[in-house]
Amino acid sequence: MRRRSFIAAALVAAVPTAALAQTQAAAPAPPPAPQPIQPQNALEHAFVAALTNAEMRPVFRRQLLDGHVALALTSPQANAPPREIAIRDGVSAGLVFTSVARLEAVLGPETPRAVLTGRAALERLRGKNVVINARLAPMLTLEPEDVARYLATSVSPNSAGPAQ
């Protein structure tokens, strides 16, 4: 009798495990991880290098501020507000890309954009969250305090200044 109870208990315990395995198998797979970009400009080279080399992070910041980026906009009209995406419940972020090609790869070629210095893009997004290269690797999310710290960085003597 003990043996039957043990076998019955083992069978009852196995049923939820089998059902769980079927449920897990039927669950959708997570989206694939973004593929690392192949750097196409100085900013992207610095960005990729900064991912694994802390000494390259100040170089990336300088390249971001002084170099040109693509800021996604809500419309093609002059002075259109920056396009934002939800990054978590109740929190959105402006979209900055390290090149027009990166913006088009993620958002499509018809996406309205402004090409301007990173400093000018961050100025337009001051007080907001910013995602640099959304849905790509590497990708960087800056909180409003981070944006303020970037903007507090002194202007490089080689900088041509903000461009609109």
- pLDDT at 140 (0 to 100): 96
| pLDDT digit string, tens, across residues 21-53 | 444 455 666 666 776 899 999 999 999 999 999
Record the pTM. 0.76
Backbone phi and psi for residue 150, each to the nearest 5 degrees, phi listed first: -60, -45
